[in-house]
Amino acid sequence: MFFILVISNFEFVENSPKLQNGKLIVAFPSIYMFDEFYSHGKILGEIIASSHNMRPFVRVWGPDVCPDMPLQYSAPDQIDFIEVNQNGIATLPEFDQRLDVKQIPHHTQNCYAEFLRGDDDFILLTKPQGNAPCMFMREYSDLYLKIAKDIGVSEVYTVGTRLAEISPRGRATGYATKKEAVDHLEKNDVTLMKNEVAPYFTNVILGVAAEHHDMTGYRINSNHGEEPPYEDSVRQILEILEKVSGIGYDIEVFGEIIKDWTSSLKLSGTGTQPNDLFGI
């Protein structure tokens, strides 16, 4: 059971694809406490979208808010999470269970997100503006997944940064929401996350997908530590995604986007930032 949705408006700007056993990739920017450059997910979304000539077909935003207008919230002291057990299988805890975190007092949360399609059997969910939500995560997840379910999605893959300080840095890891999926990861030489609490949206949506929408969820992420734009760890994630899902990427596109990000980072003066999610 979820609270009333804070986002409910969406529009189809192009005909929706109809998939059979389709796949959804979720590639969102980092959480708000890091600047927009501190995000494997944002770079991965650009590479996947450009590699497959993808374009928006659904736009989602808040009921009383224009797509470009941010919402100002007081940041929560507790957040949703997913629990990964000793076998690398993740489950969603009871709704009233939250993780205590150290947060900045206020933040801006933009409701806007887009579904993209190409000519293949998968769709991509991205957030071209703002950061990943850290409030109403289950509600956001439920809305996005209802749209995906109607299209024919049965598997959800989320890619991005592992929100924990764990060595070795820069190495791609993963988990899944059922044993068969974990076995599939292991067969493809993916290092499993085990006995870990995984907070925030791109983890939580996998639990909602499995528990409420009968979808299989896969998480592929990279440990912190590599300098932006994370060329090695982004490549690792893309290679794992291709082996596990069959969704590839264009090497030339990869090089061009990494080069563009490197130029942008030099202009902005942005570098790595400390991971202070839990106040330690």
Joined tokens for residue 252:
């030339």
Task: For residue range 209-227, list pLDDT tens digits in order.
Answer: 999 999 999 999 988 777 8
User: Cα–Cα distance between 53 and 112 in angstroms, integer?
Assistant: 21
Task: For residue range 126-168, list pLDDT tens digits in order.
Answer: 988 777 777 778 888 998 999 999 999 999 999 988 876 665 6
Answer whether the bond into residue 229 is a cis peptide, omega within 30°: yes
The pLDDT assigned to 108 comes to 53
Please report, for the chain, the start and end positions of each structural domain, with discontinuous segments joined by +: 18-268
Start-to-end CA span in the chain (Å): 33
- For the segment 29-54, the average pLDDT, to the nearest whole number, is 80
Pick 130 or 250 by higher pLDDT.
250
Name which of 169, 154, 165 is nearest 123 in CA terms: 154
Task: For residue range 89-115, list pLDDT tens digits in order.
Answer: 999 998 666 665 655 444 556 668 899
CATH number of the domain located at residue range(s) 18-268 in this protein? 3.40.50.10900
> Which residue is associated with the tokens 């470009």?
68
- For the segment 242-267, the average pLDDT, to the nearest whole number, is 92
Quick check: 173 and 234 in contact, CB under 8 A? no
- Helices 40-51, 231-245: crossing angle, 10 deg rounding: 50
Joined tokens for residue 80:
């949703």
Look up the pTM and report it.
0.87
**Which phi-psi region, left, alpha or beta, contains residue 136 (left: φ > 0; alpha: ψ -120 to 50)?**
left
The pLDDT assigned to 127 comes to 87
Q: Burial code of 6-38, b = ≥16 C-beta within 10 A, e = fewer?
A: bbeebeeeeeebebeebbbbbbbbbbbbbeebb
CA 5 to chain centre: 20
User: Cα–Cα distance between 19 and 43 in angstroms, integer?
Assistant: 26
